[in-house]
Each structure stands twice: as C-alpha cells, then as structure tokens.
Amino acid sequence: MLYELALDERCDLNQADGDGKTAVHLAAEAGLFKTVVHFVNFASGGRGGRGLNLNRASKGHRTTPLISAAARNHTGIVQFLAGRPEVDVNAVKRNGDSALHVAAYFGFKAAVEILMEREDVLMEQRNGLNLTQPTK
C-alpha cells in the first residue's frame, strides 16, 4: 500500500505519522528495499523532485531511516541510503547513537562495514554512554 501511495503526485512523502515516521522510515524498518528505492527515486526524479528529507528524525527516539535500517540489519537499505550523499551517516538518536553505533552494538558486521566506507563517517563520535565507533 505504501508503494501505491507514492504513485500519486499529490502524495507528500515527508508527511509523518503520530510517531514522526515517514513512509521511508516505515519501509526501512520493515526491510522493504524496493519500496525505499522507489520512494527515493520517485521523489528525487521527474515530478519536480519533491524534496524528500532522508534525514528526518522520528519523535521519541529520534531515529532516521538509516538508523532504523541499521538497527534491523537491513543491509541492502543501509547500503542504498549510505550511498546517497544527502544522507547524514553521523545523525544520532536521542541517546547519541549513530547508525554505526547501533549496527556495531548488535554485531551487524556487514552494516558496520558499509557505514565505515563513507569518508565522512565520524569514527571518534561518542554516544550518550561516551562510547566511540568501532575502528577501521
């Protein structure tokens, strides 16, 4: 259903639910790779580019779509989002965890390696527990 909604040019993909999650958040959490790709490509191509905000944080924990995908080991989505220059790989949740902190905490090696490939990832970034990212 999310996929079909994006086909409507009146659809605002930045619209959030009560938790502050956009359609991209929900698709990233659910591991719906093709849907995430479709939303991003649809919003940034044709149709005047609707300014999709891939760094929008949800309410509460303040997760971004990248953090949500990293926390669930959806490596295809992590790779796709981390490969987009407009995605802030250093964005943090309310507790100070970045996508890299989360992936490392859960032991998701492939997601960690993908995130560490970004040249702008802050390896010395500390979270709320004063822990840094894993080292290269």
| CATH, residue 14 | 1.25.40.20
Determine the pLDDT at residue 126.
Answer: 61
Note the pTM of the prediction, 2 decimals. Answer: 0.82
Range of the domain at 104: 2-116
Query: pLDDT for 38-53, tens place per residue?
Result: 888 876 654 434 577 8
Q: Is residue 111 part of a domain?
A: yes
Asked whether residue 78 carries a pLDDT value surpassing 70, the answer given is yes
Confidence tier at 111 by pLDDT (50, 70, 90): very high
Determine the pLDDT at residue 45.
Answer: 56
Q: Is residue 85 part of a domain?
A: yes
Please give the full DSSP string across 18-67, using - where no structure is assigned.
TTS--HHHHHHHHT-HHHHHHHHHHHHSTTT-----TTPPPSTT---HHH
Asked whether residue 106 carries a pLDDT value surpassing 90, the answer given is yes
Q: Is residue 26 part of a domain?
A: yes
**Domains contained in the chain, number:** 1
First-to-last CA distance in the chain?
Answer: 40
